[in-house]
Amino acid sequence: MAGLFKKLTEKLSSRLFITGYQVSFLVLLAMFSVVAIISAIGTYRISMEGAKNLLETRAVDVAVNIGFTLERLGLRSNIFQEMLKSDKWEHLAFLTLYDRDGTILIHSNEMLSGRRVYDEHAQQVMRTMTPVISFQKLATGEEVFVLYFPLRLHIAPETTEPVGNAFSSGQGRDSIDTGSVEELKPMPLAKTFCLKVALHPYKAYAITRKANIQLGLIISSIVILWVMALFFINSWRRNYRLEEQLVEQERLAVLGQMAAVLAHEIRNPLSSIKGFAQIHMEDAADCPDAEDLKEDMELIVEETVRLERLTSALLEYARSPSLRDSAFMLEEFCRDLARHAGSAGSAELVDFECDSGEVHLDREKFLQIIINLVQNATDAVKDQPDARILVSIRLQDDSVILKVEDNGPGIPDEIKKKLFEPFVTTKTRGTGLGLSIVKRLCDAMGGKIELESAPERGTVVTIQFPQAESHEPEESE
């Protein structure tokens, strides 16, 4: 389990570009949120069930008490009205007693007594002898909880209309002096009725409101917690990127100072070494071993030129790019590219495909980017039997799409991730600054680089440049 959590943390950390501690915090926060939501939903469901059970229990209690009362006092027409007047029954909305044929024997509204209506729930209770509960909306718009309850009462015919207010006064059949009864009468047969009890759900609704408020507060708290956590993590990422940029700028500043020292301290001696080597190459004809000396001088000149290119590339990378945006025609630019490829000796390898039209970019920086990419592609395909390089420049909406494709051996995955970093190269004699210069120039021009490479298909570099009408030309220092 610990190993799985560690792998998950590492994968999320690499995907989200955040630290492992932050990923662990997010995972723990997610687990806490899930547990809290499940607990809140469980509590909410328990509260709702409790509110429903409260209504059902209270309604059954009322139905049982009314059953006992009717058994004692008989079916009096005003007995339900008297019950509703009592403070003990203040939660009652109304009461109805149905006969088997659907006739309303007693109703808390005396005007409804004696009517015959069809009530589906009442008929169901009569058939199954099991209670039925439901919520019903009254004509006033109030929703009430209704219990249909089966009653089997032993009521003699003469007790259906007793005289006096037995319920309110406490005097009923039980208060009759049994000593005056001359003989015992047999108990009347039981008869089935359906009692409809309607309750005001105020207290139950109070429970559900509290449950809704509690659930809302918990979910709101979790949402606020997540928003705060993501805000702080995003702030940390932003600060981290700013720190990286500051470190990069400091590193570039140091690199620029070193490059300036190299330019003054190394370039001049290199020029002298190259000059003397060329002079000795001209004088080598008079020496007995002229051929060996000439080869040595050529090697010195070649290595000197390579060191000069290295110092120039280092200066180019360390110098902050200054843009000089201008408008130029793409057809003429592509002809210059073809001439440059011819002078570099790679014309037979490179094909150019260019759209026609005017573009607004820094022409020199754009040219330098293409030259560096073509040079890198040329080095990659020089050992291929069918080496080809395709350079295409397309106009798309307000963007310029540059694509450089080669059919070389591809780039290893471990190199691909850091290919645009300085001094990273797969060549034995490369400086490792060509693509890093391309990256810096692209960033300055607002370009986006995409790199695709596979052993079977070679490498494709695609760069999208926005048209630079909004850039203002800057003077180089």
Give residue 285's pLDDT. 60
Q: How far is CA 87 from CA 64, 153, 338, 395, in A?
A: 18, 26, 103, 87
DSSP lists the bridge partners of residue 308 as none
- Find, among 391, 327, 337, the residue nearest to 357 by Cα: 327
Task: Give the integer Cα–Cα distance in Å for 218 and 254.
Answer: 53
Give residue 7's pLDDT. 58
- What is the b/e burial string over 417-449, where b = at least 16 CB atoms within 10 angstroms of the residue's CB? eebbebeebeeeebbbbbbbbbbbbbeebbbeb
DSSP lists the bridge partners of residue 154 as 190
Fold of 322-472: Heat Shock Protein 90 (3.30.565)
Extents of the domains making up the chain = 322-472
Q: In what order do the strands lie in the sheet with 190-199?
A: 104-107, 92-98, 190-199, 143-154, 132-137
- Find, among 125, 133, 150, the residue nearest to 198 by Cα: 133
The pair phi, psi for residue 122, each rounded to 5°, is -65, -40
- Find, among 192, 198, 218, the residue nearest to 137 by Cα: 198
Task: Give the integer Cα–Cα distance in Å for 106 and 164.
Answer: 17
Q: Which two tokens stand for residue 456?
A: 């079977």
Give residue 17's pLDDT. 52
Q: Are 42 and 53 in contact (CB under 8 A)?
A: no
Q: Provide the phi-psi class of 357: left if phi over 0, else alpha when psi is between -120 and 50, else beta.
A: left
Q: How many CA atoms lie within 13 A of 430 on its CB side?
A: 20
Q: Which two tokens stand for residue 154?
A: 């032993």
Give residue 185's pLDDT. 53
Q: E strands along 243-373, which residues?
A: 325-329, 350-354, 358-362
Give residue 462's pLDDT. 93
Q: Which two tokens stand for residue 158?
A: 């003469």
- Find, among 456, 466, 359, 447, the residue nearest to 411 by Cα: 456
- Only one residue has tokens 């040595």, namely 296
Q: Are 60 and 146 in contact (CB under 8 A)?
A: no
Give residue 159's pLDDT. 47
Q: Which two tokens stand for residue 261?
A: 């020292």
DSSP lists the bridge partners of residue 354 as 393
Does the pTM exceed 0.85? no
Q: What is the pLDDT of residues 68-103, one digit of tens each?
A: 888 888 888 888 888 888 777 778 888 999 998 888
- What is the b/e burial string over 70-107, where b = at least 16 CB atoms within 10 angstroms of the residue's CB? bbebbbbeebbbbbeeeeebebbbbbbbbbeeeebbbb
Q: Are 375 and 349 in contact (CB under 8 A)?
A: no
Mean pLDDT by 10 residues, the chain (477 residues): 53 55 76 85 84 87 88 82 78 88 88 87 90 87 90 66 40 40 56 90 82 86 87 82 81 70 70 75 64 74 76 69 84 86 73 88 88 85 82 89 88 77 66 78 88 83 79 42
